[in-house]
Every structure is written in C-alpha cells, then in structure tokens.
Amino acid sequence: MIKAILIFNNHGKPRLSKFYEHYTEDTEQQIIRETFHLVSKRDENVCNFLEGGLLIGGSENKLIYRHYATLYFVFCVDSSESELGILDLIQVFVETLDKCFENVCELDLIFHMDKVHNILAEMVMGGMVLETNMSEIITQAEAQTKMEKSEAGIAGAPARAVSAVKNMNLPEMPKNINIGDISIKVPNLPSFK
C-alpha cells in the first residue's frame, strides 16, 4: 500500500499532497515538513530510500523519493510494495506529467493541480497501484479532458465555471482566489490543435 504521495519543491513548499489515510491538517503539515527535512539534506548520489519510521504509521514504512529539477517526488509506502517498483512508478508518473504538460515544470503543478491529481488518480487509487502503463494512463486522461471539452462547448466552460464559483456564496472562502487564471488558462488547452 502507498500511504501518501507528496510533491514539494526545493524549499519545502508542497505542490501536491495525497494522503491515503486521514490525518489532521496539522499532522499533514508536520509530515510534509519533516519529510522535506529528511529528504532535502540528502546528497544527490545517495540511495532513494529512507526509513520513514515515525512519520506515517509504523516502522515498516519507507520513504521512496526522487528528485527532479526543483521538485521532490516522495512516496511513503509500506512493506508490501517493491522499492524498485515504486521508483519506476515515480518515473512513470513524471514522464506522464511530462507528456501531458509538454515539458512539465513546477508552474504546471501549481496552476493545474487538478490535472496532476487526475493523472495521479489514473495511476494510484486509494493507495494501490492501478495502472503502470504510461500510454494507457495518457489515453484515459485525455479522453476525460476531451469529454470536459465537449461538455463545455467552445467557450462556455470557463464562463460557467466562473459563474458557478461566484454563485457558490461561500462567506468564509478566501477572497484572494484568482479566478482570472481559470478563464485565461482553459481555452488554451491543446485539443484545439
């Protein structure tokens, strides 16, 4: 079982966190922080495994991570997963992201968090590996994107999304959500080619 998947950058800013067990927000933050501390001080050419131990669950858990440019991809897994297998999985994940975003970079992860999650959901489900075949993952992800497209019509989607968000009437919702981003980004999706 995979217990958690974390992506954070070289400064420890989380870019994606997916916990397959429930933790309180405080614990989650602490886990991310400590994981970052553990991982960040390791040299480039040391092994990619860490005894996660106290962080999540018992001592049988391991942290398996890879470092790509500015991002750390960390998987916390228990003993039922093959260490090298998970390393491969991280590779597959990153390559898939790369294909889907065309040269993925940290910004892509920031601005298209949902997309990253959706891709991840095609690979890992509820802590178990669902699919390792990259082309299959991409096919499914793209099919869903296409569906969203067809659903929205040409330009309707962003507008409606914006109005839906605006009408949600969430008094406590943070005011600084940048809705402008959404309307700018979405029409530029690649299926118009």
Among residues 103 and 176, whose Cβ is nearest to another protein? 176
Site map (CB under 8 A) of another protein, residues 89-128, x = contact: -------------------------x--xx--x---xxxx
Among residues 104 and 141, whose Cβ is nearest to another protein? 141
Site map (CB under 8 A) of another protein, residues 46-85, x = contact: xxxxxx----------------------------x-xxxx
**According to the 3-state scheme, what is the secondary structure of the chain?**
CEEEEEEEECCCCEEEEEECCCCCHHHHHHHHHHHHHHHHCCCCCCCCEEECCCCCCCCCCEEEEEEECCEEEEEEECCCCCHHHHHHHHHHHHHHHHHHHCCCCHHHHHHCHHHHHHHHHHHEECCEECCCCHHHHHHHHHHHHHHHHHHHCCCHHHHHHHHHHHCCCCCCCCCCCCHHHHHHHHHHCHHHC
Site residues for another protein per CB under 8 A: 1, 14-18, 20, 22, 25, 28-29, 32, 42-43, 45-51, 80, 82-85, 87-88, 114, 117-118, 121, 125-133, 136, 140, 143-144, 147-148, 151-152, 157, 161, 164, 168, 170, 172-173
